[in-house]
A and B are shown apart, each in its own frame.
Chain A
């Protein structure tokens, strides 16, 4: 059992060990949908929601797996739960908000293969978080993902207008921006314990 306080778990997941900029989790959507602020916000909303549900499910599954002493089934059961959650979110979104659904397009099903979600489930298991701690961790991770994505989208919107050499345009420029952002986030390292 881990006895870290909720606030420190939240800060740790959102800023100090930001999932995108420090752990490199969820890089594909990070570069894929970060060209416009609006899509970035929607995407991070979807990811945060899936994270929350997946975190709760992962906690339950882990209890069962430990009870039947089968830790080797962890990866396979986590990924199955995550993909069904994503399907659920996809159906909900199609029903509740068709424009959002269309705007996210291919990236919604791709949340399944977003390492941030599986990473979250695995990290919370490794750290031995309790149920509320796990939920707070998921909230923090979601907030951190949203922060990174929106910051990146803001920079890239401006970058589109700038006069950039043909070779550097696109992903190479985005990578350098991400590197600088990541350096900025290193400044938060003093915050946590």
Chain B
């Protein structure tokens, strides 16, 4: 391919920050907001999604020469739905409480645009090795984003982290953070932080480029 060569590590790293699915591309927002009311739920959801992302990426990449172009979306959805069913039953077997807390949102991993998006945009065009790295990177990026939102909501909303009390008795919990609207607010706050950092990075790069231009002339 005439495309710019991308190193395998870069394939993994890009999902963590530069192409973070949640904060940069706004993909998979529904589970990111819905099950991030505690840190442990957020981690479980992230792990389940990562598994599906990884397995779907691998399968799509392996089957990419067999799947006809016209039927590709339906085939991808079937592949994804198969792995989601596996995860659904696995979580039910491991911890019925967790299954109850995540509810229908495990089944809803099927319609997480992130997974279909990566299958279509990346795994269908790349070899299995790269598809795995990409899936892993995106999955970790997704999990990280969910975890950050979850930590903020749990600490502020219930005053705990992983179920451990953090504050002395006098702390008034912000109940709104565990309610649905808290999900929107926590996401908005993290988005602002990410935007601010990106803005600073862009400014610094611009300044560096200008300085380099000045010294050259």
Contacts and interface: CB of A to CB of B under 8 A. Distances in A.
A154 interface: no
Contacts of B82: 76
B28 to A, nearest CB: 9
B72 to A, nearest CB: 12
Given A75-B110, A167-B196, A175-B188, A24 B180 contact: yes
B78 A76 contact: yes
Nearest to A110: B113
Interface stretch (B12-20, B38-46, B83-91, B161-169): B83-91
B32 to A, nearest CB: 8
A172 interface: yes
Given A24-B180, A115-B30, A83 B74 contact: yes
B184 A126 contact: no
Chain A interface, >50% SS class: helix
Contacts of A173: 188
Interface residues of B, number: 40
B184 A175 contact: yes
A118 B184 contact: no
B7 interface: no
B77 A172 contact: no
A89 B196 CA distance: 41
B116 A76 contact: no
B188 A179 contact: yes
Contacts of A74: 107
Contact of A126 (B31, B85, B104, B196): B104
Contact of B188 (A110, A112, A176): A176
Given A26-B30, A28-B29, 8 more contacts: A24-B180, A31-B29, A74-B107, A112-B73, A122-B107, A167-B192, A167-B196, A168-B192
A24 B183 contact: yes
Contact of A75 (B88, B187, B191): B88
B4 to A, nearest CB: 27
A181 B30 CA distance: 16
A128 B104 CA distance: 14
